[in-house]
């Protein structure tokens, strides 16, 4: 099964992608994770991508498309895959369609997770990460026992540059302008399954599975 998860930053794509990957025994391909890893390693691609990521702008297509192409050729994608965070533009969607066509594959379902903008801001700006071990927290939903201190290792908690309110608002604006058109793109091909991204994680998962089973919008 070849799936795409669409949705603005903070919509819960990553969480649901992990659940679906386990259920269907297919890999989750998150371009965000790949790019952040490259930034951490200070690779040439990572250095190039960092400026865009810190400002909330999209990483250039030539960087992202190349990463995804390489990933889809790996053996663990033979039974299917879940794309989380890609494509982000219609240009990338066209490139993906061509790439998959050359491989004799196609996208079967596009899950669009919809969440109110103010809810998204509350979700993202409350996130904190441990500098030492990388454990994540949320000031409202999953706070540490001691303010600013990691429960696991005692490390300092910080807010990532791309989780600040200013950057987040810019990221949402970028999404609306450049990524939201994908809803029309995949809707035209009858691949779109629209899911409301509020409620419990299990409720959202069940709604996604129903959309996949029924092939409904």
Q: Given 48, 97, 105, 160, which residue is catalytic?
A: 160
pTM: predicted TM-score of the whole model, two decimal places: 0.75
* Residue numbers of the chain with a pLDDT score lower than 50: 217
For the record, the structure tokens of 190 come out as 């009858």
pLDDT at residue number 54 = 80
Q: 36 catalytic, yes or no? A: no
Q: 146 catalytic, yes or no? A: no
Cα(51)–Cα(53) distance, integer angstroms: 6
Long-range contacts formed by 181-189: CB under 8 A, 24+ apart: 181/89, 181/90, 182/6, 182/87, 182/88, 182/89, 182/90, 182/93, 182/110, 183/6, 183/112, 185/90, 185/93, 186/4, 186/6, 186/93, 186/107, 186/110, 186/112, 187/217
Q: Given 50, 71, 88, 123, which residue is catalytic?
A: 88
Residue extents of the structural domains in the chain: 2-116+165-214
Q: 171 catalytic, yes or no? A: yes
pLDDT at residue number 96 = 93
Q: Where are the alpha helices (DSSP H) in the chain?
A: 13-24, 31-41, 44-55, 61-72, 90-102, 117-125, 165-174, 181-188, 201-214
Q: Given 13, 123, 128, 193, which residue is catalytic?
A: 13
Cα(40)–Cα(87) distance, integer angstroms: 23
pLDDT at residue number 152 = 95
CATH second-level architecture of 2-116+165-214? 3-Layer(aba) Sandwich (3.40)
Q: Given 50, 171, 193, 205, which residue is catalytic?
A: 171
- Structure confidence by residue, pLDDT tens digits, 76-101: 999 999 999 889 889 999 999 998 99
pLDDT at residue number 133 = 94
Q: Given 50, 127, 128, 193, which residue is catalytic?
A: 127
Q: 193 catalytic, yes or no? A: no
Q: 13 catalytic, yes or no? A: yes
**Do the Cβ atoms of 204 and 16 come closer than 8 Å?**
yes
Cα(111)–Cα(3) distance, integer angstroms: 8
pLDDT at residue number 216 = 56
β-partners of residue 6 are 112
pLDDT at residue number 207 = 92
């Amino acid at each position: 099964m070849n799936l795409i998860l669409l949705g603005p930053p903070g919509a819960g794509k990553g969480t649901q992608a992990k659940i679906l990957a386990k259920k269907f025994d297919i890999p989750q391909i998150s371009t965000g994770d790949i790019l952040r890893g490259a930034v951490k390693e200070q690779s040439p691609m990572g250095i190039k991508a960092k400026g865009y990521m810190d400002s909330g702008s999209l990483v250039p297509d030539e960087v992202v498309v190349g990463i995804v192409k390489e990933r889809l050729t790996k053996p663990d994608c033979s039974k299917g895959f879940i794309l989380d965070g890609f494509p982000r533009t219609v240009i990338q969607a066209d490139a993906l369609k061509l790439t998959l066509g050359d491989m004799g594959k196609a996208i079967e379902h596009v899950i669009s997770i919809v969440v109110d903008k103010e809810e998204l801001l509350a979700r993202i700006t409350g996130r904190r990460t441990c500098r030492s071990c990388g454990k994540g927290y949320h000031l409202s939903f999953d706070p540490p026992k001691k303010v600013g201190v990691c429960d696991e290792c005692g490390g300092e908690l910080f807010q990532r540059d791309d989780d600040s309110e200013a950057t987040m608002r810019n990221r949402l604006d970028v999404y609306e302008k450049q990524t939201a058109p994908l809803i029309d793109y995949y809707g035209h091909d009858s691949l779109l399954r629209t899911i409301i991204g509020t409620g419990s994680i299990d409720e959202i998962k069940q709604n996604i599975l129903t959309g996949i089973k029924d092939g409904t919008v």
